[in-house]
Amino acid sequence: MYVNKIGDLLKCPATLLMLLLHGCGGGIESGEQGFQRCNACHSMKPGLNFTGPSLAGILNRKAGTITGFNYSRAVKTSGIVWTVENLDAWITNPQLFIPGTKMEFEGIPDQTVRDELIVILKSKTALPLVNNEPP
């Protein structure tokens, strides 16, 4: 059922234009744009779940633990903690990282775009860090 949504997103010329512009932008700004690939389904506000769960405090939080969100069994039982490394692998290809997830997202193959997006996620959603912070 989420597939339609993605189809709609891809059909939208503005979205396509935005994706094309990714390649030209630099620094944090393209990371902000990168989050627009997520905010159709995710908010960064605590307790605000859309199609996907709120990403507030996602850094170093255990996967599948937002109360009131109906996760897939795959994510709920994954035992994963959302470190930078795991987030990076997840947004590269969610289905590959946690087979059976219901996050219908095609993934971001470009390392630079992912890095910038993770900087944004870190700055806006961080909880106190554990040892997994990169230098």
- Name the site residues for ligand HEC (rule: CB under 6 A): 2, 5-6, 37-38, 40-42, 51-53, 55, 58, 63-64, 66, 71-72, 74-75, 82, 87, 90-91, 101-105
Q: Which is nearer to ligand HEC, 27 or 90 (CB)?
A: 90
Smallest separation (angstroms) from ligand HEC to the CB of 111: 14
Smallest separation (angstroms) from ligand HEC to the CB of 24: 19
Rounded to a whole number, what is the distance in angstroms from the first to the last CA of the chain? 40
Could you tell me which of 130, 115, 112, 134 has the C-alpha nearest to residue 57? Answer: 130
Task: Provide the token pair at 117.
Answer: 């997006």
Q: What is the DSSP letter of 20?
A: H
Smallest separation (angstroms) from ligand HEC to the CB of 3: 9
Smallest separation (angstroms) from ligand HEC to the CB of 41: 3
| DSSP assignment string, 38-75 | TTTTB-SSTT-BSSS---TT-TTPBTT--TT----HHH
Q: What φ, ψ does residue 93 adopt, rounded to 5°?
A: -165, 90
Other CB atoms closer than 10 Å to residue 118's CB: what's the count?
A: 19
Q: Which is nearer to ligand HEC, 113 or 128 (CB)?
A: 113
Q: Which is nearer to ligand HEC, 102 or 124 (CB)?
A: 102
Q: Which is nearer to ligand HEC, 13 or 109 (CB)?
A: 109
